[in-house]
Amino acid sequence: MRIDPKNLPPRTELGRMLASQGNYREAEDLFREVIRIDPKNLPPRGELAMLLERTGKKAEAKKLYDEILSIKPDDRGARNALKRLKDV
C-alpha cells in the first residue's frame, strides 16, 4: 500500500493497525516518522506513548506524555497516563 508522505493521518492509522497486529517495531517507526515530519501532531505522539508503555518502555512513554502536556496542557489522556506512570 502506498501512502502519500504528506498525508499524515493515514500513516498514523496504519501505525495503529500495525500495533494492533503485534507489529510493534514497524508501528513505532511509523509513529516516529510522522512525529518527525510534524512535531506538533499529537495523535501519533499519543499512540507512540501508549505503544511504548505497552511494550515496557515506560520512561520513554512518560517523556512523550510530558511533551504532549507541554503542547496541550489540558490533555486528559496524557495526564491520566502520567498518573499511572508516576513511579517510573
* Domains in the chain, CATH or no CATH each: 8-84 (1.25.40.10)
The pTM assigned to this predicted structure is 0.88
Residue 4 has pLDDT above 70, yes or no: no
Whole-number pLDDT of residue 7: 78
Q: Which of 32, 41, 36, 40 is nearest to 9 (CA)?
A: 41
Residue 24 CA to residue 71 CA, distance in Å, equals 25
Banded pLDDT at 5 (limits 50, 70, 90): low
Q: What average pLDDT score do residues 32-38 get?
A: 93
Amino acid identity, position 70? S
- The answer to whether 34 and 45 are in contact (CB under 8 A) is no
